[in-house]
Amino acid sequence: MHFDLPTLMAAGSFVAAMSAVFVFFAWTHARDGTEMLWWALGYGFYAIGVALLTLGTVEDAELAIALGAIVLNIAPALFWMSSRLFNRHRVPLVALFGGLGIGLVTMAFSPIGLSPSLQMALSLAIFAAYTLATAWEYWRGRGDGLKARQPLIALSLLQAALFSAGSVEAATGRISAGDIPLESWFGLVHFVSILYLIGTAVFVVSLSRERAERLQKVTAETDALTGVANRGAFMAYAGEALHRSLQGDLPLSMIIFDLDHFKRINDSFGHAVGDGVLKRFGETARRVLREDDRLGRIGGEEFAVILPDTSLGSAFVIADRIRAAFDGDCRFVDRCAVNATVSAGVTTAHPSSTLDSILVAADEGLYRAKQNGRNRVERRRAGRDSDGGPFLEVVA
């Protein structure tokens, strides 16, 4: 079974043009980066390049075919550029224009000019190389967990594989510029290209929106000054952690920190230095804490840490490590001898605990630390709490 080459190429050009319009208008709505704009431009070059190749095939115009091959090979380079920009990577100009330069030198200029079959093979190979590089870029950035990366990787790998196979067939003379046999690898290129164009348009837009939504969520849950969780986000996480702890009969502890004499620091050195002290504490605490621990700023100079699967004794040790580290790290801020310190209260949950009750218990420990001289870690007093449970002061 054979297919008419110009018809398939015209269909591919039309789909590329529509994909360019779709991605461009998605970009005008979001305006959260230039990567979608470059991807839309890639579709534009794809549409023009295939249109020129179609015209050259119908009219037997060698110049149109040569120009079409050159313009078409700009498209995958722009797709690759877009993928690097999405990952916040620099775009090397040599790599960006290298494929196009090779194509110009070997396909357009005599006596280096190649035969038509080798020109086709080289053009397909360049396209495959850039497409494979695009798949690699999306793969190497997979750590962000964005789900739209996977279909983009799969589509790019499929496109690269078929273009590579088509390049081999063209180089060995098994296909020509006439009708395309269905049983050839190159016979699948135009069908898969349409799938690639439509699929990547959808998933490039989805990827950009997914990242934007995640950024908005992180921004809404993050304290702008210190970069730690804000009060709302911390309380939500702490409530979920407490629920998991009680359901699984697992230990859970909390620490509340309060910077000592913070008002005096603001009054003596200014609010800019005070902000620097708050930032320094956030940096110090995050350096000491473990991956599953969650730090939040719950008041002006007050911070809290929820410690899943952690006993009271371990929480005490962690709190004192943060206290000691901050004591050493915050002697100077912006060349001002602030000598900032922090006090902390620790507690652990019991079967009848609520989030409010462990907050109160940790806060009582903090109050004792302030009473006993500051720059220290304390537990709440011995006895029974308002829920009737023990205070669990014994440090394991």
Three-class SS string for 242-295?
HHHHHHHCCCEEEEEEEECCHHHHHHHHCHHHHHHHHHHHHHHHHHHCCCCCEE
* The residue count for the chain: 396
Q: Token pair of 334, please?
A: 């912006």
Q: Which of 160, 189, 212, 200 is nearest to 39 (CA)?
A: 200
- Check: pTM over 0.85? Answer yes or no: no
Alpha-carbon distance of 49 to 6, in angstroms, equals: 13
Cα dist from 327 to 196, 282, 343, whole Å: 57, 13, 10
Sign of the Cα pseudo-torsion (350, 356, 362, 364, in order): negative
- Name the class of domain 2-221: mainly alpha
In this predicted structure, what is the pLDDT of residue 393?
A: 41
Please state, as a whole number, how many other Cβ atoms lie within 10 Å of the Cβ of residue 245: 21
Q: Which of 6, 126, 118 is nearest to 54 (CA)?
A: 6
pLDDT tens digits, 65-116: 778 878 888 899 999 999 999 998 988 887 777 777 776 666 555 444 556 6
* Catalytic site residue from 35, 137, 169, 301: 301
Q: What is the DSSP letter of 307?
A: E
Q: Active site includes 378?
A: no
Ranges of each domain in the chain: 2-221, 231-379
Q: Is 212 exposed, middle or buried (0-12, 13-18, 19+ CB in 10 A)?
A: middle
Do the Cβ atoms of 132 and 160 come closer than 8 Å? Answer: yes
Do the Cβ atoms of 230 and 221 come closer than 8 Å? Answer: yes
What is the rounded average pLDDT for all residues in the chain? Answer: 86
Cα dist from 5 to 11, 15, 172, whole Å: 10, 16, 20
Q: Which residues pair with 345 in a beta bridge?
A: 256, 378
Tens of pLDDT, residue by residue, the chain (396 residues): 555 667 778 888 999 999 999 999 999 887 777 899 999 999 999 999 989 888 887 777 777 877 887 888 889 999 999 999 999 898 888 777 777 777 666 655 544 455 667 777 888 888 899 999 999 999 999 988 899 999 999 999 999 998 898 888 877 776 655 445 555 666 677 788 899 999 999 999 999 999 988 888 888 999 999 999 999 999 999 999 999 999 989 999 999 999 999 999 999 999 999 999 999 999 999 999 999 999 999 999 999 999 999 999 999 999 999 999 999 999 999 889 999 999 999 999 999 999 999 999 999 999 999 999 999 999 987 654 444 344 444 333
Alpha-carbon distance of 131 to 79, in angstroms, equals: 8
Q: What is the DSSP letter of 330?
A: T
Cα dist from 200 to 23, 26, 126, 135, 154, whole Å: 10, 13, 19, 11, 10
Q: Which CATH superfamily is domain 231-379 in?
A: Reverse transcriptase/Diguanylate cyclase domain (3.30.70.270)
Helix/strand/coil percent split, the chain, to 5: 65, 10, 25
Do the Cβ atoms of 353 and 244 come closer than 8 Å? Answer: no
pLDDT tens digits, 334-379: 889 999 999 999 999 999 999 999 999 999 999 999 999 999 999 9
